[in-house]
Amino acid sequence: MSDPKPDLAELEPAELETVVTGLGAKRFHAQQIFRWLHRRGHERVDQMTDLSQSLRAQLDAACTITTPSVTDRVRSADGTEKFLFTLGDGRTIESVFIPDTPALTFCVSTQVGCAMRCGFCLTGKMGLTRHLTAGEIAGQVRVLARELDLQDSRFNIVLMGMGEPLHNYDATMKALRLLAAPEGLAVTPKRVTLSTVGLLPAMAKLSEEPWIPNLAVSLHATTDRVRHELIPTSRQQRIADLINACRRFPLKHRDRITFEYVLLAGVNDTEADATRLVGMLRGLRAKVNLLPLNEAPGIPFSRPSDEQVDRFARGLARGGVNVSVRKSRGRDIGAACGQLIIEGGPQRTVAAAP
């Protein structure tokens, strides 16, 4: 049977107040508890030393705290660090810390595996094992901040690890609210980027949220035929519908939607592709982030030459598109974009995501 005790790590401040006052304690104690968990990264009630011993005993008896635990940590020659987290049920996920992109950046997961099955991404080969809870998503960030001694520093968060964030919509949005709470890490929407293949109903719902992160749309093709081959779950959707949804998405002054585009040799890197991409983005406040494929066993595509990547980028720039080429980070430790896969049981990790 599942534990009926409330998990303090899953509770937003108002929910935590309800639990605390239900134990007969004062409302302000909820802020103290939230601060211990999310700001300072502590995992046990007995570490919350500004609470009375009697309240700590009550909380210990009535509640639980679930925190992803670090079971492996590897550092790349370029400073990127990959963290293997073990969850309460023994499943494992990975998160990545990139120290200068140019800001400090945490790349975190929202699911164990992924259901989108993108043909160029190892994570898609796993299929979907389960969604992460809000506490597990936010927990990656609070543990990373603690392990890296960054609790008092500004950092960015990208939801680009394992999983499709909008497929796990409610837990993802609750996690972002937990991270945004001023009693905790106070991460603002400007410092969070959510990457999605473009689940249109969920994008429409996201556009109406009071808390909207930066949006990165995984496009990866300029024709429906190629996109449907690369992203099987997009077969009920036209690129034109996705672009129109992006045009309707609310943007603040000077904000842009990022379009992620993995370059695959001979598949989506032609001059015609660049011309079509310029045309479909015309009039849209957008930037294109080109990602030359990080090749890996099991991926049936090749990386274009540097010369072809440069030609494609120059073609976009000549058409007036704001374009950048993402530098691959952490490849020597299996932490490059699109290469996260966990196989052979909950404790074995093979590779990781950006």
Per-residue pLDDT at 354 exceeds 90: no
What's this model's pTM, rounded to 2 decimal places?
A: 0.92
Question: In this structure, how many other beta carbons lie within 10 angstroms of the beta carbon of residue 220?
Answer: 24
Domains of the chain: 8-62 (1.10.150.530), 69-351 (3.20.20.70)
Separation between Cα atoms, residue 341 and residue 337, nearest integer Å:
11
pLDDT in tens, 89-115: 999 999 999 998 778 999 999 999 999
pLDDT at 343: 53
Instruction: Please report, for the chain, how many H helices and E strands are present, in that order.
Output: 11, 14
Altogether, the residues listed in the chain come to a count of 354
331 or 290: which carries more pLDDT confidence?
A: 290
- E strand intervals along 299-354: 322-325, 341-342, 349-351
Q: Please give the positions annotated as active site.
A: 94, 337
Cβ–Cβ < 8 Å for 286, 322:
yes
pLDDT in tens, 39-92: 999 999 999 999 999 999 999 999 999 999 999 999 998 899 999 999 999 999
Question: Which of 161, 136, 85, 97 is CA-nearest to residue 337?
Answer: 161
Cβ–Cβ < 8 Å for 205, 169:
yes
